[in-house]
Amino acid sequence: MAELNIENQSINAPNSQINFVANRLHTREDFTAEMNRLKELSSPSAAWNSQDRRDAPECHPKTRKLPLSKLTVWLNGSDSMDGSVRFIQGAPGTGKTTLVQTLARQVARTRQLGASFFFIRSSLDRRSLEKFAPTIARQLITSIPQLQPLICSTLRLDQDLFSKSIEGQWIQLVVEPLAQVQQELPSPVLILIDGIDECASESDQAYLVRSILRNMDKFGPKIKLLLTFRPQHNLQQAVSDFYISESWGMHLGDSQADYDDVRSYLGDAFADLDSTRHLVLGNVPWPPAGAIDQLTVRTQGQFIYASTAVGFISDETKHPVSQLKSLLNNQFNPAQALDNLYLMILVQIEDQLPFNYLQGLWHFLVHLSFFPSSPQSLAFHCGLDLMKVDLLLKKLSLLIHTQGEVIGFHHTSFIHFIVKPLFPHPYCVSHPYLPVFASHWQMSTSYTTLHISPDPNHTQPHAQTTQPPLVHDEFSRKIFLTVKNLVR
């Protein structure tokens, strides 16, 4: 027991309660300047429940029960030997972000989510490491209020903190404050970091992982970190630099459970489609026997393939029976299954567009692959009127999402389909032409740009000299500065 004297009034309570009360009293100090500084340097859109992520998908109710259960058990475990860090790896489209988005919501309900950061390459704020530590720190202050005096005092005493290395910021803003309060926490707290492979450069990705792992020994069993990324060599090498148990890793897309989850999702999606479109006629079943199994094999455990296929089949301008038949009759190549599906979608879109829109379609896709844009910016840069842009957005709704005024693609795999294709197709921009395309956005007096119409013989786009266009907005100009990182 300890005694706390407040204005000549004595309170007897356990030490941990006294510390908590003292910290809460300490927060009455005016930290407005420090909090404003954190706000200025953080990225609110990186949080799991940000406005920018309001439409982020979550797991289908019948899927991912096993990995979610394992992660929940690990989070609430008190055995320090079980590790304070977990890794989720998987190929593009296997559902890593969807899984942790679902986990974030579940953990937030139990008030155990300390902070989250969802990297994405198409966002200036969320692909850079500069805002990483301030964002995590600001969220931690909200979820663990007793951290405010610790973090803000650090900012007050070290005015040059944000000119230090990212690892230095991580240590001073996150590691050291959490280490001081972790014993007082009523339950374990999770810090969730998704899509590290979406960070701007491979060197930054590896640096971030090493910075986190180098300082994990400061945390006890009440501080847990979950990291997700694609199984890239640079990231696997960064992890291998430390002694990490294999049990601390989780791989998506390569187990029977993953295929079972995809099959369950497809089964429910087809049942929902039948209930709205009335596809079962008499004694003829729909989907046909074996169709779901065939489609499950084609997904290769990738939820992005499954969800895109469902969107393709349920296109309101087509009949689902013929769409499913067309998809299953299409030649299956495991190495390029998703790209083949994207190509089928675009070919059908072309068939539905007036001829004078086709030239704009290619330029539209290439522009969006490099520059998430507003409808007005798209119209300006692609030489289209807003009516044409609106029609293309409607036709491409299966591939495109809109966040506020910014339009981008649902998944980075489609960007790779455009700029790093696995096979030549009439919508792609190959690597030799990347500098040519990039130069289209430079402010210069003489330069080269890509011809904007697809070659009718499906050869690569060719270059032509034109006058430089005005760079329409600061957003596009900044994107250009890192255009090569989009297609590294």
* Residue 55 clears pLDDT 90, i.e. is over it: no
What proportion of the chain, given as a percentage, has pLDDT over 70? 80
Average pLDDT over residues 202-228: 95
Decide if pLDDT at 124 tops 60. yes
pLDDT the model gives residue 432: 43
Which superfamily, per CATH, for 31-252?
P-loop containing nucleotide triphosphate hydrolases (3.40.50.300)
Q: What is the pLDDT of residues 74-86, one digit of tens each?
A: 999 876 656 899 9
Q: What is the pLDDT of residue 430?
A: 56
Mean pLDDT of 215-219: 93
pLDDT tops 90 at residue 355: no
The residue ranking higher by pLDDT, 361 or 88, is 88
Task: Band the pLDDT of 27: cuts 50, 70, 90.
Answer: very low
- Is the model's pLDDT at 463 over the cut of 50? no
How far apart CA 209 and CA 193 sit, in angstroms, is 10
Mean pLDDT of 325-342: 93
Question: What's the rounded Cα separation, in Å, for the pair 364 and 197?
Answer: 26
Range with the lowest mean pLDDT among 40-54, 230-244, 273-287? 273-287
pLDDT at 5: 45
Confidence of residue 28 (pLDDT cuts 50, 70, 90): low
- Out of 124-138, 244-258, 345-359, 449-463, give the one with best mean pLDDT: 124-138
Split at pLDDT 50, 70, 90, the class of 295 is very high
Tell me the per-residue pLDDT of 394-444, one tens digit each, with 9 for 90 and over: 888 899 887 767 788 888 888 888 888 888 888 887 544 444 444 443 332
> Average pLDDT over the chain, rounded to whole?
82
What is the percent of the chain with per-residue pLDDT over 90, rounded to a whole number?
53
Residue 457 in this model has a pLDDT that exceeds 80: no
Over residues 267-280, the pLDDT tens digits come to 999 999 988 888 87
Judging by beta carbons within 10 Å of its beta carbon (0-12, 13-18, 19+), is residue 302 exposed, middle or buried? buried
Q: How confident is the model at residue 238 (pLDDT cuts 50, 70, 90)?
A: very high
Residue 17 has pLDDT above 50, yes or no: no
Domain range summary for the chain, segments of one domain joined by +? 31-252, 256-329, 354-486
pLDDT at 122: 77
Contact criterion met (CB below 8 Å) for 291 and 252: no
The pTM score is 0.79
Query: 14 falls in which pLDDT band (50, 70, 90)?
Result: low
pLDDT of res. 16: 45
pLDDT at 70 over 80: yes
Instruction: Tell me which of 186-200, 283-297, 413-427 is least confident.
Output: 413-427
Q: What is the average per-residue pLDDT within 171-175?
A: 98
Task: Give residues with Cβ within 8 angstroms of 158, minimum separation 6.
Answer: 172
* H, E, C per residue of the chain: CEEEEECCEEEEECHHHHHHHHHHHHCCCCCHHHHHHHHHHCCHHHCCCCHHHCCCCCCCCCCCHHHHHHHHHHHHCCCHHHCCEEEEEECCCCCHHHHHHHHHHHHHHCCCEEEEEECCCCCCCCCCCCCHHHHHHHHHHHHCHHHHHHHHHHHHHCCCHHHCCHHHHHHHHHHHHHHHHHHHCCCCEEEEEECHHHCCCHHHHHHHHHHHHHCHHHCCCCEEEEEEECCCHHHHHHHHCCCCCHHHEEEECCCHHHHHHHHHHHHHHHHHHHHHHCCCECCECCCCCCHHHHHHHHHCCCHHHHHHHHHHHCCCCCCHHHHHHHHHHCCCCHHHHHHHHHHHHHHHHHHHCCHHHHHHHHHHHHHHHHCCECHHHHHHHHCCCHHHHHHHHHHCCCCEEEECCEEEECCHHHHHHHHCCCCCCCCCCCHHHHHHHHHCCCCCCCEEEECCCCCCCCCCCCEEEECCCCCCCHHHHHHHHCHHHHCC
In this prediction, residue 436 carries a pLDDT of 43
Confidence of residue 360 (pLDDT cuts 50, 70, 90): confident
Answer whether residue 117 shows pLDDT above 60. Answer: yes
Cα–Cα distance measured from residue 471 to residue 443, given in angstroms and rounded to the nearest whole number: 7
Residue 159 CB-half CA count within 13 A:
1
